[in-house]
Structure 1
Amino acid sequence: MQNSITVDQQADVIMRDNLVELLKGGFAPVVILLEEFHFDKAGVDLDGLPFSAWSLLEHMKHRQKVLLQFMKDPEDNPEVWPEAYWPDNPVPENEEIWNNSIAEFQKDLEEMINLVKDPDTELYKVYSNGKTLAWAAMTTFHHNAYTIGQVKAIGRQLGVW
């Protein structure tokens, strides 16, 4: 008996692979860019911008965590777009806290990627808030891409890249 894959199964595999690629950052790998950013410039506020790279990292990490919690337990975490989180202090206390924040962001991102890869994860089921897990993954990569672009622009102005 031949083991064949249906068109729907093939489309599901392709969609999951695409989501994983986008979550990682595609041509702008989010975690690598964060790790390359110089700690000593992470708290610099440029004229005209209301945030530093540290503020953006914490904002991005918080939003990603909210969406991950929804993906892990959608019925008990229906609030997927709460008020935006911004840290009170735009400067990380020290390099260890900066690095730990990047590591926590990466850990949560990897957990989300593993959920997307898992064929038992129901990406397309609509939950009580009207959202799907695929929506949460796409929202995460969209928000991360937008925010890492801001980090990249700050880094360019500060001579990081």
Structure 2
Amino acid sequence: MNTDTLVASLKDMLLKPNAHVTFADAVKKLPEELRGVVPPDMPYSIWQLVEHIRLTQYDILDFSRNPDYKEMEWPKDYWPKETAPENDAAWKHSVEQVNKDLHTFISLLEKSKDLFAPFPHGDGQHLFREAVLLLDHTSYHTGEIVAVRRMYSAKRCCCSITPAITLVRS
């Protein structure tokens, strides 16, 4: 597989609904009243999950492009304390920033001459590894968002979603 094919595959996995729902689809038309709800047996609201995706994705992007990268503090810098966005503008900003940073990361992939070249500052880590981390992280937490949406959907009983939440959390 040449680099162009690998980049195209990574781009498809990051942007298209293959084996998972895309982030954009998971948050599209999300009822405002669900953004701050922390469901039973789950530790985070959808807002906290969206912000966590944004913060972690930015950290991966920053690590991948910044030779002066400064490590964030886990878990403090990766999870918001607030369970709900301050207002609709904060929600929109976070969702738009996830999209913007994702496309910036994809641009790094497209411009890379060697996806496996170690970062000078990365202790052997490389862009391909960061792309896989980003894909895994975003799809996992997007799955949690979808599970919460389904749990609170008027068309479903919350009992029918319990196995899906268990699967997502495991």
Fold agreement, TM-score > 0.5: yes
Equivalent residue for 2:15, pick from 24, 36, 44: 24
- Number of aligned residues: 149
Residue type at the aligned position of 1:24 = L
Match of 1:45 in 2: 38
List alignment gaps of at least 5 residues for structure 2. Answer: 156-170
Equivalent residue for 1:125, pick from 111, 117, 136: 117
1:53-79 residue CA offsets vs partner (Å, 9 max, x unmatched): 000001111110000011212x32274
CA contact (8 A) 1:37 1:160 kept: no
Instruction: Give 1:122 deviation, angstroms.
Output: 3.2
CA contact (8 A) 2:22 2:139 kept: no
Q: Distance in 1 between matches of 2:57 and 2:25?
A: 17
Match of 1:116 in 2: 109
Structure 1 residues 30 and 122: CA distance shift in structure 2, 3 A: same
Report the TM-score, using the length of structure 1 for normalisation.
Answer: 0.84
Q: Distance in 2 between matches of 1:21 and 1:30?
A: 13
4+ residue runs over 6 A deviation: none
Moved more, 140-149 or 29-38: 29-38
Q: Distance in 2 between matches of 1:67 and 1:135?
A: 10
Equivalent residue for 2:3, pick from 9, 12, 17: 12
Match of 2:147 in 1: 153
CA contact (8 A) 1:25 1:145 kept: no
Match of 2:51 in 1: 58
Structure 1 residues 136 and 16: CA distance shift in structure 2, 3 A: same
- Secondary structure at the aligned position of 2:55 is classed as helix
**Cα RMSD for the two superposed structures:** 1.9
CA contact (8 A) 1:58 1:87 kept: yes
Instruction: Give 1:96 deviation, angstroms.
Output: 1.5
List alignment gaps of at least 5 residues for structure 1. Answer: 1-9
Match of 2:166 in 1: none
